[in-house]
Amino acid sequence: MKQVRAPHGRWQHFEVGGVPRIANMIQDWKKGGCDDLEITRRLIDLFFVSVLLDAGSEYERSEGIAVASLHMFNSLAFAAEKDAKTHLVDGKGLEQLKTDTLEKGFQVSDSNPMPGVDTRAGLLRSLGESLLAHSDVFGAEGRPGNLDILQSLIIPIWPSDRTTIGRHPIGDAWPLSTLQKQATSSDSKDSSAEYIQPFHKLTQWLTYSLIVPIQRVLGLQWTNTEFLTALAEYRNGGLFVDLGVLSLKKEVLNRGLRASGGQLPLFEAGDDVIVEWRVMTLVLIDKLYSMVLSRMNGVDLTLAQLLEAGTWKSGREVATRRRPETKSSPIMIKSDGTVF
């Protein structure tokens, strides 16, 4: 395999504890006669469901979810044919996924709760439907490893009670009322596209994740990766709040504290303060990236690598020091298990 420097992606989460789980699995597949193209397809199958299952996860759960999803993948939990000879994911298997199967695979219990497990399972069921609906791209079996265009596949799987344009859900994109110059109809969920802030965090993180196996296994290069943005999520954004770069206005802070019962400030995902926080996170990471590059003395560093080794990990480490019992973000977001 051609080795590339790891961007912010899923591959390294599977290797928590220093165990090369993906490399070991690839060796087993090669012994079974898999060529590099099939190996890449299988990794895409795995990464697809694993990344989507990680939406809304608490601090330090990403690696655990990665390993749990790997075990479920190997047990063919996401495939329609449970006695299949290959390790794959298919549309029918996802469409039929039961919530209790996911709970068992993730060892969910009273002592090990998992927020939004039912909506996470529902998200994968919706993914299965979308895969089967795009048979021209993903084949009759609806296999993620046959991917082409991510957004055309992923947009239809998100809950329909979020931001819409022309009654069509548009995923992780949210209106920001402070930018609105005209009132939005109170009886409509549609908002003028001019005031919608697009993030698409999970889609972009999935893209970053898929870059790695395609480059490492197939030796192919991606083009235009510089157009991918930073990721507007609470680990990156929490870093700027914890370090005092961003702060909540007093009245907003008090409103958030009332919502949480006096703990950390708590807001809905579509609240203006959360949308503004996410927008500012993207702006600040861009500024930070330029500052870091200016000190690299010509050494190439991608934005994805800055996220992996810098803001994302730093956000988690600072949160651990500030809030050792919960390791949580300094601003809490009500999550149904499908929100970034």
Q: Region of 219 please: left (phi>0), alpha (psi -120 to 50) or beta.
A: left
- Provide DSSP, 133-161: HTHHHHTTTT-GGG---HHHHHGGGS-TT
- Note the pLDDT of residue 56: 58
Amino acid in the structure at residue 98: K
Contact partners, residue 331, CB within 8 Å, separation at least 6: 234, 237, 238, 241, 248, 256, 264, 265, 267, 273, 274, 277
Contact partners, residue 233, CB within 8 Å, separation at least 6: 201, 278, 281, 340
- What is the chain's Cα-based Rg? 20
Q: Nearest 5 degrees, angle CA 172-CA 173-CA 178?
A: 140
The residues pairing with 175 across neighbouring beta strands, listed in sequence order, are: 196
- Provide DSSP, 163-214: -EETTEE-SSEEE-GGG-SSPPPTT--B--GGGEEE--HHHHHHHHHHHHHH
Mean pLDDT across the stretch 291-300? 89
Each residue of 122-147: pLDDT tens digit? 989 999 999 999 999 899 999 999 88
**185 burial type by CB count under 10 A (0-12 exposed, 13-18 middle, 19+ buried):** exposed
| Residue 315 pLDDT class (50, 70, 90 cuts) | very high
- Cα–Cα distance for residue pair 292/189, rounded to 1 Å: 41
- Report the percent of the chain where pLDDT is more than 90: 52
φ/ψ of residue 188, rounded to 5:
-130, 145
What are the structure tokens assigned to 144, written together? 């993620």
Find, among 6, 134, 145, 132, the residue nearest to 73 by Cα: 145
59 close to 322: Cβ distance less than 8 angstroms: no
Each residue of 181-211: pLDDT tens digit? 544 444 445 446 778 899 988 889 899 999 9
| Residue 2 pLDDT class (50, 70, 90 cuts) | very low
What are the structure tokens assigned to 240, written together? 């700027």
- Cα–Cα distance for residue pair 48/284, rounded to 1 Å: 28
Q: At what angle do helices 234-242 and 312-322 cross, to 10 degrees?
A: 60
- Note the pLDDT of residue 182: 47
Each residue of 71-127: pLDDT tens digit? 999 999 999 988 767 778 999 999 999 999 999 999 988 888 887 888 889 989 999
